[in-house]
Structures are given as structure tokens and as C-alpha cells.
């Protein structure tokens, strides 16, 4: 079975050559303008990345993946919120392959089955079929981790502490690399958006999941809070990598969406 791409040609290019070209463009900009070149040598255990169209948030996500490429995980586990299908709980994509314009990525079904034995992860096909928060990460993963297998996890309504237990177990395995997918506030004037987004950013900087409750409106709120819970318990370090809004690409400051990338490291 194959998890077919649903948003290629919409959120990211439909042709492999165009995906490679846009990642190369991001890295050319990164080389010229990234403020702290030392960060490019880090080996994170997890990253937080946005999931909008590449024209809006691709550069922000690419910074995290460029740094993450220093690691050599056996599998990359992408965790994102469900946008199209309401359900309660956590769903793991029990397919064999994940389809991308650059070819199929092997899904680690056997590892996912092991997860299901210990955590309430079930396979709900409708949670995956059109989910862009996880899908837009796959071309980046394929580019930067060409030998890694992937696992797609989508969550619906779930207590963040339950999700945190799963994330904690995944991070205990040094063969795993974790990707938490979230955008920030949606469709506010830029001044208000930045005020709301700063709450999310401060929570990451302070490594405090409860700061998020002061007004962060991330669509992947639960995943971000679960990750920060693990960070707090385990004493991991955090580093913000980039923040911007859709206005940087569109010029429209009246209704914007916020994006950030960050890394989690020891």
C-alpha cells in the first residue's frame, strides 16, 4: 500500500527537479544571510517546522532540515495535527511507501507496529489521505535523509500528556529523528499576529509548555506542547532558528500566518 501525495503541485512543486531547485535556492539564501553559522554544525534530536506552501514557509523549514542533515537517523518520524478529518487519538500511517515527486520513501511499518503495542496508536486512513502538515515535510526528508525510513503520525483530539509519552519513548531511541509540524497564528493583522506568535516563541525559548497557554494559537498546539513537556522533563536544550509571516512572501500585512522553526538538542 502507498500513502499517495495529496498536495503536490499545491503546497510544493509537482516535479522533482523543481523541488531540488527550490531547496537549492533556500540554501543559497541561507549561506548568504543566516546570522549564526555555528548553528549549522549542530546535531539536533528533533525539530519544529511549519507546513504551509513552500513559497511562504519553505525557507523557514529548510533551515531546520539543513541542520538536521548532520544527524544520520535510521528513521524520521513526522508528527502533525489533523486538518481535514476529525477524530480522537493518534493515528500511524500503516502503508508501505510514502509517495513524493522524487520517488517513494519506505515507511517503517514494523517499527510502527511495535509502537502500537505500547501506545494507543491506531491506523485511521482518512486522517492521512489529505493531511498536508505531514506531507509537505516528506520532500525535505527525502532530500536530506535519503537513506532513512519514515513514519507519519497524525493526531486528532488528544491530551498533550498522552502524546508526550509517545514522543518521549521515540526520543529514547537514538535511531529516531523527530519532526513536529506546526504553523502559528492564522489570519490576523501582522501586529496582532506577532504578539500571539511571540507567546509560542517564548515557550520554546523558556522550554516551558505552560507558556503556550498564555495565548499561543499554533494549529499544532498539542504537538508543540507535548514536545516541550518532554524537553522540560529531560533537560533538553532549545534554539529558535527562524520566524516570519506570510507577509514576507505576499506583502499582505492585513491577514497573515506565522511560521517558526526550532531545534531540540542535548
DSSP assignment of the chain equals -EE--SSBTTTB-SSHHHHHHHHHHHHHHHHHH-S-GGGGG---SEEEE--S-IIIIIHHHHHHHHHHTTS--SEEEEEEE-SS---BSEEE---SEE--TT--EEB-HHHHHHHHHHS-EE--HHHHHT-HHHHTTHHHHHHH-TT-EEEEEEE-B--HHHHHHHHHHHHHSTTEEEEEE----EEE-HHHHHHHHHHHHHHHHHT-GGGGGGT---TTHHHHHHHHHHHHHHT-EEEEEEEEETHHHH---SSEEEEEEEEEE-
* Predicted confidence pLDDT, tens digits, the chain (266 residues): 999 999 999 999 999 999 999 999 999 999 998 888 899 999 999 999 999 999 999 999 999 999 999 999 999 999 999 999 999 999 999 999 999 999 999 999 999 999 999 999 999 999 999 999 999 999 999 999 999 999 999 999 999 999 999 999 999 999 999 999 999 999 999 999 999 999 999 999 999 999 999 999 999 999 999 999 999 999 999 999 999 999 999 999 999 999 999 999 99
Look at the chain and report how many structural domains it folds into.
1
Residue 172 phi, psi (nearest 5): -70, -25
What local confidence, expressed as pLDDT, does residue 35 receive? 84
Residue 214 pLDDT:
98
3-class SS letters over 90-154: EEECCCCEECCCCCCEEECHHHHHHHHHHCCEECCHHHHHCCHHHHCCHHHHHHHCCCCEEEEEE
**CATH number, position 238:** 3.40.830.10
Structural domain range at position 230: 2-265
Q: Give the global pTM.
A: 0.98
**What pLDDT is recorded for position 178?**
98
Amino acid at each position: 500500500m502507498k500513502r499517495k501525495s495529496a498536495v503536490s503541485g499545491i503546497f510544493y512543486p509537482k516535479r522533482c527537479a523543481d523541488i531540488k531547485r527550490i531547496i537549492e535556492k533556500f540554501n543559497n539564501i541561507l549561506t548568504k544571510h543566516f546570522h549564526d553559522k555555528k548553528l549549522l554544525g549542530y546535531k539536533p534530536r528533533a525539530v519544529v517546522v511549519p507546513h504551509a506552501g513552500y513559497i511562504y514557509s519553505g525557507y523557514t523549514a529548510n533551515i531546520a532540515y539543513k541542520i538536521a542533515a548532520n544527524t544520520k537517523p535510521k528513521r524520521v518520524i513526522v508528527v502533525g495535527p489533523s486538518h481535514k478529518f476529525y477524530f480522537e487519538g493518534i493515528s500511524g500511517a500503516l502503508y508501505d511507501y510514502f509517495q513524493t515527486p522524487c520517488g517513494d520513501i519506505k515507511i517503517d511499518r514494523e517499527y510502527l507496529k511495535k509502537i502500537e503495542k505500547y501506545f494507543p496508536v491506531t491506523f485511521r486512513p482518512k486522517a492521512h489521505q489529505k493531511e498536508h502538515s505531514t506531507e509537505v515535510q516528506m520532500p525535505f526528508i527525502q532530500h536530506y535523509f535519503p537513506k532513512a525510513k519514515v513514519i507519519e503520525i497524525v493526531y486528532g483530539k488528544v491530551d498533550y500528556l498522552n502524546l508526550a509519552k509517545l514522543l518521549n519513548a521515540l526520543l529514547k531511541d537514538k535511531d529516531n529523528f523527530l519532526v513536529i509540524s506546526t504553523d502559528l497564528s492564522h489570519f490576523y493583522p501582522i501586529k496582532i499576529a506577532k504578539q500571539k506568535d511571540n507567546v509560542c516563541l517564548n515557550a520554546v525559548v523558556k522550554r516551558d509548555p505552560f507558556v503556550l497557554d498564555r495565548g499561543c494559537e499554533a494549529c499544532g498546539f498539542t504537538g508543540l506542547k507535548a514536545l516541550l513537556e518532554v524537553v522540560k522533563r529531560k533537560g533538553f536544550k532549545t534554539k529558535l532558528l527562524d520566524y516570519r509571516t506570510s507577509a514576507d512572501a505576499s506583502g499582505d500585512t492585513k491577514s497573515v500566518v506565522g511560521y517558526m522553526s526550532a531545534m531540540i538538542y542535548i
